[in-house]
Every structure is written in C-alpha cells, then in structure tokens.
Structure 1
Amino acid sequence: MSGRASYADWIAVDWGTSNLRVWAMTGRGEVRDQRMSDQGMSKLSQAEFEPVLLNLIEPWLGTAPTPVVCCGMVGSRQGWREAPYAAVPTAPLGGAQDVPCSDGRIKVSLLPGLKQQNAPDVMRGEETQIAGFLATHPKFDGVLCLPGTHTKWVHISAGEVVSFQTLMTGELFDLLGRQSVLRHSVDTEDWDKAAFSEAVSDTLSRPEALAARLFQIRARDLLEGTHAGIARARLSGFLLGVELAATKPYWLGQNIALVGATALTALYASALSVQGLVAQVEDGDTMTLKGLTAAYTELYG
C-alpha cells in the first residue's frame, strides 16, 4: 500500500488463480491506492475469500457499503461464487453476480466470463481486458489478440465479442522448454531475433512440419552445437508460426490489436511483422483496470 490513507468510492479487484490485485478507486475512475497479494483463487477455500479481501481493503472502507467489482477466476466454479459464462455474441460485460457478504461494508459483484458453444471455448478475465479496450477504442472493428499462457484471438464487431479461439501456445512453450528433451537445448534467457523470424515463417507456411521442426532443435544442438539462444528463439517461433497459421481466418485482412504484458505483446508484434502486419498494442493491466471501471459505471452509473 502506498500510504495515502483515504476511503475508496469503489474498489476494483483482479483475482486470478495465483494472485490478487486491488485498487481503491474514485468515482471518476482514478486510482487512489493499490495493493497486491499472492492469495490467488487456487490457494483459498470458499470461506476464505471474504476475509482475505477484507485484510487488503480494510483501510479503504467507510461505514456505508462500498462497491467491490471483481474479475478473474474468483468467479469460476472453484472460486468465491460462480458467475456463469455469458454466451457470445455479446458485449464483453454484463450479468454480474452479487456475492452475499457477512461484512456490511462491502457490496461485491463478480463479472462473468464468456463461452462459445459452437467450437467450444471459454474465457474468464480476458473479457474485462476486452471491455477496457473497447472503452478506450469504442469504434474498433477487427481482431484482438490477448497473449498469455492460453492466448485468445477475439473477433470484435459493433462493440460485441462475435467469436473467439484459445491456443495453448504459452503453456506448450513452457512444457517443451522445461519438461521435454528440448530443455537441454533451450536453457537460457538469450534470444536470436533472426532465428525467431525464420522459425515463424517456416511453420506458418508449413504447420504440418511442427513435430519434425521441434526435434530438429535438439538434433541441431547435438550435431552443430547451436547456441541455446538460437534454439530457444526457434522453439518460440515454431510454436507462434503454427498459432498464426491456425488463426489466419481471424487476422487475415483485419485490424489487429494486441493486449497484454509488454514482453508478450512485443513477441507477437514481431511474429506478425514477419507477415508485414502492424498491430496496435495496449498494456494488459491498464485495460483490466479500464474494464473494471467500465463495469462499475455500468453497474452503478
């Protein structure tokens, strides 16, 4: 906490699987204070959510009920209370679930995720970033890419999520880099931009070659002594090339925007540039807070 003691007009909460972030907000959407905790959803029983939250936000509470707007895995089936998925096509916000609380100083609302029945898919948390992006760019029509462990490609039109697709590229990179035979060849933080770009082009044009290309990373190391930075860049590039091949119906001929952490959006922007594409980039944390602010405005006016 920053030490700026003051009550919050409302409180924004991003409660994920591993971490919890809270912001004391003004009615105009300005941040008065913020705190973080490692008390993510996966570490808590249902009865622990309220006391964990109160422990963080206690200094911001007055005597009257303070609205608390939450996004993320806190609204999952394993969370505080399930906020059922809203079906696409739909606006990214709506259908918030109120949570009964024993402390009368807080009024908690959980934002729902989104679901897609045709080509089954779900998201929870990303919808708030999408809402933040649309609050900032209300006329945007095109495709949002939200890179992460499970990257989302989202078709946006007329302020609604029309459809989306999830790809496990980030998780695959982590598993292959840490638990497969490739771990012996990519154990570094070094990077080779040229090797990355070449790998993206390779599997984007020939995604069916991915399995063979992956083992070649190890073979090149054994036979040619390939630098680990080159091998790591190739692993990332091969996986991202396949992702771009799979999502080509989404991004081809569309406006593209990237929303996420700086390092990841830069990586995706680099991969897209191999195809001569330039993407708009927005910070994920900023969009989350803007989305929570949009939700508060929708709920409380």
Structure 2
Amino acid sequence: MTPDWIAVDWGTSQVRAWAMHGDTPLAVARSDAGMGTLSPGDFEAALLTLVQDWLPDSPIAVVICGMAGARQGWQEAPYASVPCAPDAGGCVRPQVHDPRLDVRILAGLKQDRPADVMRGEETQIAGVLAQDPRFDGVLCLPGTHTKWVQVSAGEVVSFRTSMTGEIFALLANQSVLRHGLSDGWDDAAFADAVAEAMARPEALAVRLFGLRAEGLLHGLSGPTARARLSGLLIGAELAALRPYWLGQRVAIIGDAPLCDTYAAALTAQGLAPQMIDASKATLSGLTAAHAKT
C-alpha cells in the first residue's frame, strides 16, 4: 500500500484517518485520541501512532479537518466569515518534528450575527458541493451540536447550531429522567412528542418532567420515555429553526440512527429530506481541500 496523501477527521472524542490514493481510501484507522484528550504538544505523536505504517520516507501531505484547528487544538486555524465558500478559510501548517509529515489543518467558519461557529462541518459541506455544485437549500448535520446551514450559489449563507444532542445526553445520563429511560425505541411516541413540542415549544420544561411523573404514576416504559425525550427536544429544535427548513430543499448529513430520527421528524412536516453519508461527505471535502492545498 502506497498512499498519495492522508486524510484526517479530528473530533473532540475520536480521530479517524484514511490512507488515500487520489480520491480512493486504501485503509482507515481510528483512535480515541480526540482533541479533548490532548494538549497541543501531543497531536503529532497521536497522529504518528495512527498513521505510522502508512508513511513513506519522503514527506506526505496530511490534510486535517475538525478540532485539531480549535483554540485548544494542535494549532488554531482562523475562522472564515460567512457568507463564503465552505473552504474559504484555507489552512494552517503547524510545525512538525517528523520530516515525513506535511500537515495542513483546515479552517472553520464563523457567523458574527447571530454569533455561531463550526469546525469540521464546513468540510462535509464542501464535500456535498464537490459532488453537487448546484445544491441550493439547507443542510442539516445532526450531532452533539446540530448544524442547520443555508447554502446557495456555492456558498454558506448562514447557519445556526442547536445543542439538542448534548442536552439529550445530559438529561438522559445526569438528570432525574435517567431513572425512567432504557434502551429501545417507540416510533409512535417519538412522532407524538415532536408534534407536541412543535405546537407548544414554550412548554418544553414542563413536558420533560412529565416523563418522570408518567413513569412513576402510569408505568411509562423506558423505551417509550427515551423516544418521547428525543421527540420533545427535536420538536423544540424544529420549532425554533422553522425558517431553515419550511418550504426548503433539505439534505441530512450523518449516520443512522440519529439522522433517521431527524428524517422522520421532517417527513412528518411534509418534507422529503435527502440522506447523505457523513463519511463520504467528509472524504469528498478533504479530497477537494487536498487538491487546492
């Protein structure tokens, strides 16, 4: 195996790397050495541990997106201001000690009013546009911090971030609701909760405690409670971000099962969201960045 270059997606909790030949991945490696576990001086060693077996004797380009470019990361890559192309920020090149590494860290995007930022998602957006340059609509990127991104004429026009995923994790694992949740799912309960939250998003906090009360008084099952919790939070998110999806072409970038829940919620609103694989979008965006750097 002789890769031409190496693609890396560096998240907060995990990192993935691909040995690339042109636009074709030859191998993939993963580790738990995400940005949150490292200090700036640790990144090169973590990268070498991951890709050591792929390195030739001469320098090889390593193109990195995500949290390696954060303020707490390897080296901060300044944000580009929207509206702009998703790759408008270019890259920074951190100093490395191993002469076989030629590292480029891609920049993120920022929005001044209302204030918002992204790192990593811009590369997936660039990947979508590399495959479909005429895409005009909204991209939804579900995750810990879900992004809703308006794209037109090859540019990110505006975006908003919802902390729905993080709020779900906090409530499910650290709040009183944890006592009534269990693995499993209830599609009907999820759909009903989405509709309830969209109809009265201001009642969210009251409806959340209702999950605990229903479990104690009426035997609400763990899987149903879990589905209702997800539905209430996603419904409130859709209500808050209605201008981003109402009457729009919407594509969802991500992986099952989380993206399936967003697709179900949007389908119930009369939309037909397109599903885009997150890994393919990331690799397409990294490949386009490699061609430019």
Task: Note if 1:263 corresponds to 2:257.
Answer: yes
* Pairing 1:51-66 to 2, within 5 Å after superposition: 51-66=45-60
Match 1:202 to one of 196, 199, 204: 196
Match 1:108 to one of 98, 103, 122: 103
1:189-227 deviation line (CA, Å, top 9, x unaligned): 121111110110111111111111111111111221111
Counterpart secondary structure, 1:103: coil
Match 1:10 to one of 2, 5, 15: 5
* Pairing 1:37-186 to 2, within 5 Å after superposition: 37-94=31-88, 95-186=90-181
Task: Note if 1:295 corresponds to 2:289.
Answer: yes
- The whole-number CA distance in structure 2 between the counterparts of 1:72 and 1:21 is 11
- The whole-number CA distance in structure 2 between the counterparts of 1:102 and 1:231 is 52
Provide the aligned length of Structure 1 versus Structure 2.
292
Per-residue deviation, 1:63: 2.6
- The whole-number CA distance in structure 1 between the counterparts of 2:217 and 2:83 is 51
Match 2:17 to one of 11, 19, 22: 22
- The whole-number CA distance in structure 2 between the counterparts of 1:208 and 1:280 is 30
Alpha-carbon contact 1:90-1:161 (below 8 Å) kept: yes
1:157-205 deviation line (CA, Å, top 9, x unaligned): 011110000000011111111111111112x112111111011011111
Alpha-carbon contact 1:200-1:274 (below 8 Å) kept: no
- The whole-number CA distance in structure 1 between the counterparts of 2:43 and 2:167 is 31
Per-residue deviation, 1:240: 0.7
1:19-40 deviation line (CA, Å, top 9, x unaligned): 121111112x111122111111
Partner AA of 2:221 in structure 1: H
Alpha-carbon contact 1:66-1:105 (below 8 Å) kept: yes
- The whole-number CA distance in structure 2 between the counterparts of 1:58 and 1:209 is 53
Percent identity for Structure 1 against Structure 2:
58
- The whole-number CA distance in structure 2 between the counterparts of 1:178 and 1:256 is 31
Counterpart secondary structure, 1:77: coil
Task: Note if 1:252 corresponds to 2:246.
Answer: yes
Partner AA of 1:276 in structure 2: G
Partner AA of 2:137 in structure 1: G
- The whole-number CA distance in structure 2 between the counterparts of 1:174 and 1:116 is 26
Counterpart secondary structure, 2:93: strand
Per-residue deviation, 1:16: 1.2
> Which moved further from structure 2: 208-217 or 162-171?
208-217
What are structure 1's unaligned runs of at least 5 residues?
1-5
- The whole-number CA distance in structure 1 between the counterparts of 2:267 and 2:51 is 43
Counterpart secondary structure, 1:99: coil
Alpha-carbon contact 1:10-1:68 (below 8 Å) kept: yes
Partner AA of 1:219 in structure 2: A
* Pairing 1:196-235 to 2, within 5 Å after superposition: 196-235=190-229
1:41-74 deviation line (CA, Å, top 9, x unaligned): 1222222211221222222222322111001101
